[in-house]
Structure 1
């Protein structure tokens, strides 16, 4: 795999990938979400938590491009701020799962035996629960807050990345180049870090990119149910929750955060699929 990634045609291969409509759409959507998260409320000119009781439930207009909510808060500024929250939770939870799950899976697959059995049975305990129920249980037990939301979603992602890493370690541990390293006298830890990890990294990163989308959806679930990001911090999930009581008066309160979730998840899924196609060693 590593040799393929260093092939002379790598740059042109990436360029061809970016010219595909699916990949280009994914990159464009992710870029827009990142831009929204960086610029934030500066684009709309309104503070996301600042109420205006003289402009409650105002329809989209030139003053408030996406309207206002029941407290007169600008919906656009809250969606832009919600992009920061969603990306923060998604990236933090996936990064935490990546840092924990990758070494667990690699050690389990490379060492084998009782080590493999013990570590993977622990991962199976987490996998035994549906992801959203596991996240709900953790947030209900530890209390609803932004850090707890990150921990809960990381716990959902952890066994997935650990199993991917384990599968790669099992496939690589007896290959010729690994055996050659052993014959040269290198230690097992050195072989694991120098040979197995670099060659296992591509599918792990692809899986991590796909988990970003599911992490954003899970955060929206939790916030919608009141167990995720807490008000007054804007989150697309708690914006949808607040919109439920006003669907007959201000349907845009549900349209715009719902569209933000849809487009963000679509972008990360398309980007993950593109990375998988590019980095799949079987292609």
Structure 2
């Protein structure tokens, strides 16, 4: 009885019982809070130079130091959080809507729809994710919007395959066949019966992809194919720090730590969501 009651508890309550998920939510919450409150904090603008304080060490008016142009590192870290979180969430959301829809249609309808959709996804999966992202940004140009498109293209086939697998597993169940016998159309059945029951595994996979999306954004920005200066992102901050590792190693420490903690937060939360939504749990 206790196990059944545990299973029926709301998802958020189950997550709050998981130390990993709580730790992940705290780390993600800190990143979100910093990104949202950055304009309200008494800090210099992230793009404002101070040539009298170039390469200043952490402390005093600049808690995390300054870069070679005297720009405040803390201000730039917080501005970079907005970029990384925006790109991560937007790219996963786009892949979730497009890939999830295509995967559900392919799995439920079968036939030529399944063949066409999955062959396209196989082509995308044939490329290592980072190479696909590099190819898309190189073809479209380096910008914030194109970075979102590139990372969405990487995530698209992963979510499509998960959604297709769920649709294949559900379409043969009795309650789906009952709706077919009652004369409901395929789209109605897909919307009313298949999607609600397929949604949990798809969302779990999406939560896991958030971490890899932030890493990919940082990688693209590091190579100069992501967000372009003077807009700060953690990736281009790491790239700018390379020439000053001997004089000012903190320029690499802090954006690297921001990437690590944010990705760790999404991984911990993703693990917690996966375990708590697992029907076998």
Contact 2:95 2:155 in 1 (8 A): yes
TM-score in terms of structure 1 length: 0.95
Contact 1:44 1:77 in 2 (8 A): no
Give the distance between the partners of 2:31 and 2:254, measured in 1 at CA.
14
Q: What do residues 25-51 of structure 1 show as CA deviations (whole Å, max 9, x unaligned)?
A: 111001101101111243252100000
The corresponding residue for 1:206 is 204
Contact 1:146 1:228 in 2 (8 A): yes
Residues 71 and 219 of structure 1: is their aligned pair in 2 closer, same or farther, counting only changes over 3 Å? Answer: same
The corresponding residue for 2:68 is 70
The aligned runs of 1:215-254 (5 Å cut-off) are 215-254=213-252
The aligned runs of 1:1-283 (5 Å cut-off) are 9-11=8-10, 14-283=12-281
Gaps of 5+ in 2: none
117-126 or 41-50, which deviates more: 41-50
- Deviation of 1:226 after TM superposition, in Å, equals 0.3
Give the distance between the partners of 1:73 and 1:65, measured in 2 at CA.
12
Contact 1:106 1:162 in 2 (8 A): yes
- Deviation of 1:15 after TM superposition, in Å, equals 2.9
Q: Helix, strand or coil: the match of 2:224?
A: coil
Residues 163 and 5 of structure 1: is their aligned pair in 2 closer, same or farther, counting only changes over 3 Å? Answer: farther
74-83 or 107-116, which deviates more: 107-116
Give the distance between the partners of 2:109 and 2:211, measured in 1 at CA.
32
Q: Helix, strand or coil: the match of 1:53?
A: coil
Gaps of 5+ in 1: none
Q: What do residues 177-210 of structure 1 show as CA deviations (whole Å, max 9, x unaligned)?
A: 1011111121111000000011000010111111
Q: What do residues 75-111 of structure 1 show as CA deviations (whole Å, max 9, x unaligned)?
A: 0000000000001100110111111001100010001
Q: Helix, strand or coil: the match of 1:68?
A: coil
Give the distance between the partners of 1:194 and 1:28, measured in 2 at CA.
35
Residues 44 and 255 of structure 1: is their aligned pair in 2 closer, same or farther, counting only changes over 3 Å? Answer: farther
Q: Helix, strand or coil: the match of 2:50?
A: coil
Contact 1:164 1:204 in 2 (8 A): yes
Give the distance between the partners of 1:250 and 1:44, measured in 2 at CA.
24
Give the distance between the partners of 1:260 and 1:44, measured in 2 at CA.
20
Give the distance between the partners of 1:32 and 1:208, measured in 2 at CA.
21
Give the distance between the partners of 1:167 and 1:231, measured in 2 at CA.
42
Give the distance between the partners of 2:199 and 2:94, measured in 1 at CA.
16
Q: Helix, strand or coil: the match of 2:70?
A: coil
Residues 245 and 5 of structure 1: is their aligned pair in 2 closer, same or farther, counting only changes over 3 Å? Answer: farther
The number of residues matched between the two structures is: 279
Give the distance between the partners of 2:56 and 2:26, measured in 1 at CA.
30
Contact 1:14 1:278 in 2 (8 A): no
Give the distance between the partners of 2:142 and 2:15, measured in 1 at CA.
41
Residues 5 and 66 of structure 1: is their aligned pair in 2 closer, same or farther, counting only changes over 3 Å? Answer: farther
Contact 2:237 2:252 in 1 (8 A): yes
